Amino acid sequence: MENEFKYIIQREKIKEYKGHILHKIKAIKDFGNIKRGEEGGYIEYSKNLSQYNEAWIDKDSLVYGFKTKIEDNSKIIKGAICYNSIIYGKSEVSNKIEVKSSKLYNSLISSFYKKNQIISSDIDNSRLSETFVDLSKIRDCFIYKCNISNSELDKIKPRNKSIQNITNTSIKDFPIAKHGNF
């Protein structure tokens, strides 16, 4: 019978982060682009990373918090940090983004700045890049170079424009082309 688990927790490889004890993971079988024997990132609890599908945390990333789950085909890579969040579908969190108390589905969250954060957000089918998001709900969006705070956005898709510094605003079905640059 084939082993149903895809990774093990290496209890001897420990990292402390913000008062949490995290353990290094290691693939014990091939799946997706991950090869048997490849070391991943650090997790606090076994439930932080699903043993099913192709979900993975790369060697430079941290996932912690009792509520955190990385599921389906989601990837936490390139130094990303996830705390008390659910990341599922085919999401990717990368480039030192820090996601806290969030729910991400089929989302690409990436930053080229230092330690951008996404906090208490519920984000679906989104692409966020070089972005600070705080206490926001975002749906069906592509957002580039944004600072969004305490907002609820729905179905906006900036193309070659940047939206910056939207604060305490609820926006629904916002056609960027009609409203010019921000």
Q: CB of 108 within 8 A of CB of 90?
A: no
CA distance 85 to 52: 18
pLDDT in tens, 48-86: 999 999 999 999 999 999 999 999 999 999 999 999 999
Q: Which two tokens stand for residue 65?
A: 């918090």
Q: How far is CA 21 from the centre of its chain?
A: 20
Q: What is the CB-side half-sphere exposure of residue 178 using CA atoms within 13 A?
A: 4
Higher pLDDT, 26 or 177: 26
23 falls in which pLDDT band (50, 70, 90)? very high
Higher pLDDT, 146 or 2: 146
Q: Which two tokens stand for residue 81?
A: 């940090």
pLDDT score at 60: 95
Burial 53-86 (b: 16+ CB within 10 A, else e): eebbbbebbbbbbeebbbbbbbbbbbbbbbbebb
pTM of the entire predicted model: 0.72
45 falls in which pLDDT band (50, 70, 90)? very high
CA distance 164 to 144: 9
Domain coordinates in residue numbering, the chain:
7-131
- Right CATH for 7-131 from 3.40.50, 1.10.3470, 2.160.10, 2.60.40: 2.160.10
CA distance 46 to 43: 7
pLDDT score at 177: 39
CA distance 60 to 70: 16
pLDDT in tens, 150-178: 656 655 555 444 455 555 545 555 544 34
pLDDT score at 107: 73
